[in-house]
Amino acid sequence: MLIAHLSDPHICPEGELYQGLVDSNAMFLAAVAQVAALDPPADVVIITGDLIDDGTPASYAHAKKLLAGIIQPLLLIPGNHDEREAFREAFAELGYLPASGPLHFVAEQYGPLRIVALDITIPGLHHGDFDDPAAAWLEHTLAAEPQRPTLVMLHQPPFASGIPYIDLYACHNGPRLAHVLQRHPQVERVVCGHIHRFMQLRFGGTLLCTAPSTTTAIALRLRADAQEASYIEPPALLLHHWQEDVGLITHWLPIGVFEGPLPFA
């Protein structure tokens, strides 16, 4: 089972630039083309939030045009730049978003790996929160399939990255999430967005990784007094590959056209 994982495209209304500087829409189209070129093709595509930048219906309408290039089943969760109700309305036809409340859902039909989506966003705020209702929902959901390998997806990372200006907007109550995960060893991976960089660590008895953005990268500045900044680094996506006899391998795949293939390994 192959899962293409995109994150934080920050799609803007047609003709507008992200932060007035970067063509995030064109960069997302390049990511869609990269997914289309995968061989073998992905079984499912996931996007871990911040699909659009301003939360407006106009941006969601344009996002749907750009997403039309993805032919695989598409699993979406909101980020802090999304607007929950507009997101729910825009993607209601996908059939898995709940009619009210947080946009949690489960996808079980695309292969041996179960995908559990957790909406820990707080409308109107930039940080997330793994609150009591979210904990109860996740506990119940994971307990329902204790033997099936599982991937859990959310937007804000539940840990301190060391980048001070993004850690202000992490997911609160990370230890509570870790405690739930420790009771469910079938969770092979927790995946997040938000941080616009690839990071990996052990968390809650499993592995957690963050996906790079398809647009700008948040500067890796680890001083406590660092000033916020971003770079136009090579964008990338993650490719999660489940093999029954191996488990789940996560690949970091740069987006673009590069010299090669060369006739050696």
Q: For residue 219, what pLDDT is reported?
A: 98
Eight-state DSSP code of residue 68: T
Q: What is the pLDDT of residue 24?
A: 98
pLDDT the model gives residue 74? 98
- Domain for residue 265, yes or no? no
Digit-coded pLDDT (tens) for 187-234: 999 999 999 999 999 999 999 999 999 999 999 999 999 999 999 999
Residue type, 96: Y
Q: Is residue 262 part of a domain?
A: no
Q: What is the pLDDT, as a whole number, of residue 25?
A: 97
Cβ(177)–Cβ(133) below 8 Å: no
pLDDT of 231: 98
For residues 236 and 255, is the Cβ–Cβ distance under 8 A? yes
d(CA 196, CA 220): 10
Sign of CA dihedral 188, 194, 196, 202: negative
* pLDDT at residue 155, as a whole number: 98
Structure tokens at 117: 């989506």
**Beta-carbon count within 10 A of 213 CB:** 29
Nearest partner of 121 among 137, 103, 140, 95, judged by Cα: 103
pLDDT value at residue 169: 97
Q: Could you give the CA distance from residue 130 to residue 21 in angstroms, rounded to a whole number?
A: 33
- Examine residue 233 and state whether it is found in any structural domain, yes or no: yes
pLDDT number for residue 76: 98
Residue 260 lies in a domain: no
**Domain total in the chain:** 1
Domain of 97, in residue numbers? 2-254
Tell me whether residue 26 is in a domain: yes
The reply to whether 263 falls in a domain is no
- The structure's pTM equals 0.97
CATH number assigned to the domain comprising residue 202: 3.60.21.10
Kindly give the parts of the chain with pLDDT less than 50. none
Question: What does the pLDDT look like over 141-171, one tens digit per residue?
Answer: 999 999 999 999 999 999 999 999 999 999 9
Distances (CA, A) of 134 to 152, 186, 195, 218: 13, 19, 21, 28
C-alpha distances in angstroms, 114 versus 103, 110, 152, 158, 239?
Answer: 17, 8, 8, 21, 16
Average pLDDT score over the chain = 97
3-state SS assignment for residue 161 = coil
At 11 the pLDDT is 97
Asked, for residue 22, whether it belongs to a domain, the answer is yes
